[in-house]
């Protein structure tokens, strides 16, 4: 699903934020990405989202060197990827329902079909009963669930998350990770950047560790 081949990333003329990265993630795998602050986790995810291009090497996703995508193909490429952020980036003046329908609205999906998919996504994260609520009326954990529902409403083949439990207490964090496991169980490839070692070590998935932009350990690979 994902292959990093000798990937380096340099911002401006500075040191390499990522260097000599080589790894593969198989379709259907669940992988954690960890490392200290500044180790390069977000940069790595941004390369997969094609928000950045590598300075050297290739990032291959679903068989394509994504640096070669034409600008007009990039929006279609990104639609296959669901992204969850630490601060969930919800629109606070829109209901839960409308936050989740946003990616579908942008694609011009017909309202009835869109509503069906939004409710299916909200159901999966246990928030069907809150569809009319505004994000401000929800707890932090519930807000993150809305962010996850929005990320999966397109049924992406790949789900990426950058510190999705950063602001949550341990129980809520475990619940959120359980949700990612549910999506992985139905075939979604999942990659999660997290510095919460205590949490991810207990989950028995593959863990890729970065230090200063280099891959220093790859544990539990299938
Ligand atoms: N757009 C950018 N321009 C210049 N330097 C950047 C940019 N983005 C990241 N960096 C630098 O690249 C390095 C890796 O940053 P990155 O955000 O990928 O690390 P991280 O592991 O995700 O850290 P954190 O957990 O703090 O978010 C850091 O030294 C950072 O300052």
pLDDT tens digits, one per residue of 140-157 = 999 999 999 999 999 999
Give the distance (Å) from ligand 1 centre to CA of residue 18: 9
Contacts of 44 (CB under 8 A, 6+ apart): 4, 18, 21, 33, 193, 210
Q: Which helix (H) or strand (E) holds 217?
A: strand 214-219
Q: Which tens digits make up the pLDDT trace of 190-204?
A: 999 999 888 998 898
pLDDT, residue 24, reads: 97
Extract the tokens encoding 49: 């989202």
- Is the Cβ atom of 149 under 6 angstroms away from ligand 1? no
pTM: 0.93
Extract the tokens encoding 97: 């329902």
Report whether 100 contacts 146 (CB < 8 A).
yes
Which residues, listed in sequence order, are joined to residue 18 by a DSSP beta bridge? Answer: 9
Query: Please, what are the averages of pLDDT over each run of 10 residues along the chain (222 residues)?
Result: 97 87 97 95 96 96 95 93 88 96 94 97 96 95 94 95 90 93 96 93 93 94 57
| Cα distance between residue 142 and residue 125, in whole Å | 9
Residue ranges of the domains in the chain? 27-53+70-219
Phi, psi angle pair for 180, to nearest 5°: -60, -40
Residue % of the chain over a pLDDT of 90: 86
- Is the Cβ atom of 11 under 6 angstroms away from ligand 1? yes
Contacts of 13 (CB under 8 A, 6+ apart): none
* The listed CATH number (1.10.3720.10, 3.40.50.300, 3.90.580.10, 3.40.50.1860) that belongs to domain 27-53+70-219: 3.40.50.300
- Is the Cβ atom of 51 under 6 angstroms away from ligand 1? no
- Is the Cβ atom of 42 under 6 angstroms away from ligand 1? yes
- Is the Cβ atom of 35 under 6 angstroms away from ligand 1? yes
pLDDT, residue 53, reads: 95
């Amino acid at each position: 699903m994902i292959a990093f081949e000798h990937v380096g990333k340099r911002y401006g003329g500075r040191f390499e934020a990522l260097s000599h990265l080589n790894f593969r993630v198989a379709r259907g795998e669940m992988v954690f990405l960890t490392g200290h602050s500044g180790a390069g986790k977000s940069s790595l995810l941004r390369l997969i989202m094609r928000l950045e291009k590598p300075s050297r090497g290739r990032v291959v996703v679903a068989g394509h060197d994504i640096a070669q995508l034409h600008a007009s193909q990039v929006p279609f490429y990104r639609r296959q990827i669901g992204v969850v952020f630490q601060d969930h980036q919800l629109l606070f003046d829109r209901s839960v329902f409308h936050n989740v329908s946003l990616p579908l609205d942008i694609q011009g999906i017909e309202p009835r079909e869109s509503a069906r998919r939004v409710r299916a996504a909200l159901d999966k994260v246990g928030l069907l009963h809150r569809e009319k609520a505004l994000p401000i009326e929800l707890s932090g954990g519930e807000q993150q669930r809305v962010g996850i529902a929005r990320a999966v409403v397109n049924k992406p083949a790949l789900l990426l998350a950058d510190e999705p439990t950063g602001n949550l207490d341990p129980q809520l964090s475990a619940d959120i990770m359980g949700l990612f496991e549910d999506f992985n169980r139905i075939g979604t490839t999942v990659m999660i950047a997290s510095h919460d070692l205590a949490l991810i070590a207990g989950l028995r998935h593959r863990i890729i560790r970065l230090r200063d932009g280099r891959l220093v350990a790859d544990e539990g690979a299938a």
